[in-house]
Chains A and B, each alone.
Chain A
Amino acid sequence: MSNVKERVGTGVGVTLILLWCLLPVAWIVSLSFKSQEAVTNGSPGFFPASGAGAGFDNYKQVLQDDAFLLAIRNSIVVSLSATILSVALATLAAYAIARLEFRGKKFVLTTALVIAMFPVVSLVGPLFDMWRTVGLYDTWWGLMIPYISFTLPLAIWTLSAFFREIPWEMEQAAQVDGATPWQAFRKVIVPLAAPGVFTAAILTFFFAWNDFVFGISLTSTERARPIPAALSFFVGADPFNRPASLLAAAAVVATIPIVVLVLFFQRKIVAGLTAGAVKG
């Protein structure tokens, strides 16, 4: 009897979880198919009212918008480069933290911890000032550098958690078998660590893709402005009435890469999110 009750409970729970996660996403997709006139005149309701649908018009318009296309380009370039550089650096640091005894290990870990908790906004002022002085303001590098710095803690933790899972003896065995430290790293550790590296890369990419504070503070034009910032500046003809359905279409486009990553690498992402945090 309790078995049936439990199963019903779980079923209800699963339904609630799915509703929670997917309803707002469904809503923004639905909104993106409402026509702009309908939105201006007011069209309450979850689905587009009959006759108020826009088909793919909003998407066509978004994909013809130069500002938006440039923002996508900026986001892709900046996020990908930051991810690659950050993960490469983090791999080295995480290896040192997980495997080597050295002075200052505590300092590195504490720094990473403090940075992960850092109120990003409090850096915006000084960075804004510095970047303008050195000419990094409104450039790709101007965004990439803070992205790398702020994703390093996350990547270092995730990776060192993964590295710790690799049995310590494995590397010693390789050394006894005649490997130099570098060979032990390349032939034994790297293949075993690859899944962790990949996971860290996805999480890093999420962070960079999601960033808003740096995006609006350290850019001023389409030269470097990433998607989240571009979305917030996306204003139609009437500045007091945002083109909701158009924005929704742009938002859906911006969300597609995330959904694709989640669909393909769900297992790895979950492992990565929890590896660094719970077991350590």
Chain B
Amino acid sequence: MATIEMKHIVKKYGDGFPAVNDVSIDVADGEFLILVGPSGCGKSTLLRMIVGLEDITDGDMLIGGERVNDLAPRDRNLSMVFQNYALYPHLTVYENIAFPLRLAKVSEKEIDEKVREASKTLDLDEHLERKPANLSGGQRQRVAMGRAIVREAKAFLFDEPLSNLDAKLRGQMRTEIARLQKKLGITTVYVTHDQTEAMTLGDRVAVMKRGVLQQLASPRELYEQPVNLFVAGFIGSPPMNFLPATVEGTEVTLPFGTFPLPADKAERTAGKGLLMAGVRPEHFEDVSVIGEGEVDSSRTFKAHIDVREWLGDQQYAYVPYEAEATVQDQLKELARESDSDSLRTQLVVSLDASSKAEEDADTTLFIDTDQMHLFDPSSGENLTVGL
């Protein structure tokens, strides 16, 4: 049990490019912290610096209050689950789990006790004598976890531990990891690029981009109050819609029309020229589902839906629109940064499952501008954060 403090951590490679740049994060004792970001954002590098597999170019790494920059991995007493599990193929499951204990010269009796306890927790009892090659992906994953929990390490580190599993198993193991962490109450740092894992597992989530920490907050705060365009676009699936917007007085003009904006938001953004409005898909709705009387008609617009995807509990509708070249370029850049592709400028709206909106037809949609965020397009900063 220990805290992990990262103070102004920098990692530079031979070419001088900072893979991790001035990152400071304090992980509280027993906290579950997620490092998330697109590929190449430095999240794994940061994790490997915590565990000592990567040298720290600058800054201080404190584990349990002790500076560990110069300690070898074995002297840091952390345990780690690797993406490919890194099980030892020549050892049985039992010996794999016992490995760290054997290195620590623990007595035979104690090893046996601890291995059996871990195997019970992870439901590996019947596989103890098998070799990793004969196990399924999920079982290997559990063995890797067993090797991590068998030792009383100061913290757990996970490097994309579920990325090699299929979707169903990934869901199960996610819950399993959450349960285990709660039960053991051990400080955990978990790297992932999967935002479902990020949102569901973490007490707090650190979003990184190109080596720089973007936002460190609870999952809810990240979702509801993203500090900039990148975080707003990265967190959430389908992602937040970004639309060119201008605010005059207390009204915001979008490609689909002009809508009233709450006063506090308008105050901060009025007269700032072209902005980027961010609206999540669920902040739209088919007017016919809500019922005529309850709708503020000033916040509705006609949209031409070209594709509709019915998912059972909800449905997505796609509304293409024309945007200026500069806006398109910015949207493309944004999509590229978060590892996705934007093929065309379109609005993604999430409609109630009961909506009868049709493809290739016009539908009246409601837009909840109370939930809208407005971003400065050049800096990407959220001008309406906290509102």
* A-B CB contacts (within 8 Å), total count: 58
Interface segment, one of A52-60, A77-85, A171-179, A264-272: A171-179
Interface segment, one of B75-83, B183-191, B312-320: B75-83
- Judged by DSSP, the binding face of A is helix
Asked if A262 is an interface residue, CB under 8 A from chain B, the answer is no
Q: Among residues 142 to 175 in chain B, which have CB atoms less than 8 Å away from a CB atom of chain A? A: 147, 151
A172 touches B73 (CB 8 A): yes
A177 touches B147 (CB 8 A): yes
A176 touches B90 (CB 8 A): no
Q: Report the bound CA distance from A112 to B345 in whole Å.
A: 57
Say whether, besides A167-B84, A169-B86, A176 and B79 are in contact (CB < 8 Å). yes
B78 touches A176 (CB 8 A): yes
Nearest residue (CB) in B for A180 is: B74
Asked if A170 is an interface residue, CB under 8 A from chain B, the answer is yes
- Judged by DSSP, the binding face of B is loop
B73 touches A176 (CB 8 A): yes
A173 touches B90 (CB 8 A): no
**Nearest CB of chain B from residue A188's CB, rounded to whole Å:** 6
Asked if B40 is an interface residue, CB under 8 A from chain A, the answer is no
Nearest residue (CB) in B for A166 is: B89
Task: Report A-chain residues with C-beta under 8 Å of the C-beta of B103.
Answer: 174, 177-179, 183, 187
Asked if B100 is an interface residue, CB under 8 A from chain A, the answer is yes
Say whether, besides A176-B51, A178-B74, A191-B90, A169 and B82 are in contact (CB < 8 Å). yes
Task: Report A-chain residues with C-beta under 8 Å of the C-beta of B53.
Answer: 172, 175-176
Q: Report the bound CA distance from A187 to B104 in whole Å.
A: 14
**Nearest CB of chain B from residue A1's CB, rounded to whole Å:** 41
Task: Report A-chain residues with C-beta under 8 Å of the C-beta of B79.
Answer: 176-177
**Nearest CB of chain A from residue B202's CB, rounded to whole Å:** 22
Task: Report A-chain residues with C-beta under 8 Å of the C-beta of B90.
Answer: 191-192
Checking A172, A178, A179, A183 against B86 with a beta-carbon cut-off of 8 angstroms, the contacting residue is A172
**Nearest CB of chain A from residue B312's CB, rounded to whole Å:** 40
Nearest residue (CB) in A for B104 is: A178
Nearest residue (CB) in B for A191 is: B90
Give me 17 A-to-B residue pairs in the complex whose CB atoms sit less than 8 angstroms apart, sorted by A's number.
A169-B83, A169-B84, A173-B80, A173-B82, A173-B86, A175-B53, A175-B72, A175-B73, A176-B53, A176-B79, A176-B80, A178-B100, A178-B104, A180-B72, A183-B103, A187-B103, A192-B89
Q: Could you tell me which A residues sit within 8 Å of B by CB distance? A: 167, 169-170, 172-180, 183, 187-188, 191-192
Q: Could you tell me which B residues sit within 8 Å of A by CB distance? A: 51-53, 72-74, 77-80, 82-84, 86, 88-90, 99-100, 103-104, 147, 151
